[in-house]
Amino acid sequence: MLKILDRYIIKTFFGPFFFIFSVLFFIFIVNIIWVQLGQFMGKGLSYWQILKLLFYLGVSVISMVMPLTILLASIMSFGEFGERYELAAMKAAGISLTRVMTPLLGVSVMLAVMLFFFSNNIIPDFQRKAKNMLFNIAQTKPALNFTPGQFIDQIPGYMVKFDKIYGENGENIDGVFVHKKASTFENQQSIVAEKGKFVPAANKNFLKLVLYNGYVFEDNLAGKGENARYKQPDQAIKFDTLVSHFDISEIINKAIEKEQITDDYRFQSYNELNETILKNKKENDKFFANISNDALNQTNSMVSYMDKNKSKAPVKSQIKLDTVKTDKKLEIIYNAYNRLDNLKVTLEGKSNDIKPNVKYFSKVVIYQQRIVSYSVTCIIFFLIGASLGSIIRKGGMGVPVIIAIVIFIIFYVMNLAIENIAWGGKMNPYLAAWLPNMILLPFGVWMTYKALTDSQLFDAEKYKALFKPIIKRFSKNKEHKRYQ
């Protein structure tokens, strides 16, 4: 059962925790908006659809936001304990720093377990929804947005141009040109009118356009042979009023959330990824075996003369190049060079064929392992944050935030660098997923030890005293010398 001290420590931790989590989540969402903004423009999306997409995308960044939040919150909470001399009071009362850190360590472990289940069960589902929405938005034609004086092909099956658009809602138009898109063997039709007006249609799937004082130019060519097409006269029909309906259901009824992509590895849980990895490994082994056999066969063809037909007859002595005539010598060297060059090109081509398979396998493995490794990162970041906070003894948004951001940037850069190395096949992907944690864990343990032993890690005077003998050795003696 939690004691009063435990409740107070946890309450102090969750104050900055929720604030920092909200700020970081908002920052990541803004970054996503900035990156994806171009896909939203001119697509006719509702605010609800945009907010839903941003929410789907934002859920996937929680696995990165949570460790940084724990790091910042632990530094700030323990920094406040030190700044308000609460840590000193606890130690004076016989409460060790280990006892103070224990309830928050338990909270961090709970958050890490929650992050694992969240990354394993919820994030894949939202990843699938987000990717399908992005795919459908990319395939969606731009919403109707006519620009005066420009040819627009937003109406399916037609090319239109309006010289002038005016009115309270832009419903009146002048200088109308409408051309129906048709193949060579279909009826060709173009409409020219002095002016027109958009009128609400009874069916929302259609755009109703009333035109005044114009001509319909039509060539009735469908189903006719080449000779008949040449003899077909142009037809021009004059009209005073013409009502046209254009089918725009393809634009307004686009299923933005229709799921068309279902086979991405990011849509799978940890156990499902195990099956994907085993399947991909078998396919890679088979693929690599075929490639190596092809390369080996081509290599063996260059030295096949050494064991031709496996005959028991003694092998003839090789010809010495120095004893061959000049012309023959050049021919032998040229042929050998060509065969080696062809082998080199073949091996380079096989290597390029292998790289995509290695990269994909590494991506799947790293993604799977990070479902667990990011949860462990939460615990490591707590150890680092709590230790730094108790040593620095500064609360608020100043020094703790700077230190936490520096540590997170180092972690993030290590992640990216090691990930790229693994993608190139130069590092085991399992090691690549865990190496940042393996590097930070000793640092976290060392920082915890320094905090438990009340180390003056950030005391400038201590470092000055350490380097004082060296500085004194190279500095000049300022004492005045006596005259002899």
* % of residues, the chain, pLDDT over 70: 70
Q: What is the structure's pLDDT at 224?
A: 65
Q: What is the structure's pLDDT at 435?
A: 93
Q: What is the structure's pLDDT at 350?
A: 65
- Chain mean pLDDT for the chain: 77
pLDDT of 46 higher than 90: no
**364-377 mean pLDDT:** 91
Rounded to whole angstroms, the Cα distance separating 338 from 200 reads: 74
CB 234 within 8 A of CB 219: yes
Give the pLDDT band of residue 434 (cuts 50, 70, 90): very high
DSSP 429: H
CB 423 within 8 A of CB 434: no
Task: Write the CB contacts of 267 (distance below 8 Å, at least 6 apart in sequence).
Answer: 124, 125, 127, 128, 131
Most confident of 51-55, 328-332, 413-417: 413-417
Q: What is the structure's pLDDT at 313?
A: 46
pLDDT of 282 higher than 80: yes
**128-132, 403-407, 454-458: least confident range:** 454-458
Rounded to whole angstroms, the Cα distance separating 244 from 208 reads: 6
Which residue shows structure tokens 């859920």? 59
| Structure-token pair, residue 347 | 């091996």
Burial 131-162 (b: 16+ CB within 10 A, else e): bbbbebbeebbeebeeeeeeeeebbeebebbb
Read off the amino acid at residue 357. N
Q: What is the structure's pLDDT at 380?
A: 92
Rounded to whole angstroms, the Cα distance separating 300 from 82 reads: 73
Rounded to whole angstroms, the Cα distance separating 275 from 303 reads: 42
Q: What is the structure's pLDDT at 138?
A: 63
Q: What is the structure's pLDDT at 310?
A: 44
- Element (DSSP H or E) covering residue 361: helix 326-392
Helix (H, G, I), strand (E, B) or coil at 2: coil
**89-93 mean pLDDT:** 83
Give the angle subtended at the CA of 229 by the CAs of 225 and 232, to the nearest 5°. Answer: 135
Read off the amino acid at residue 253. N
Taking only the tens place, the pLDDT of each residue in 174-230 is 998 888 877 666 777 888 999 998 887 777 677 888 999 998 888 776 666 666 666
CB 182 within 8 A of CB 219: no
Helix (H, G, I), strand (E, B) or coil at 193: strand
| Structure-token pair, residue 413 | 């850069």
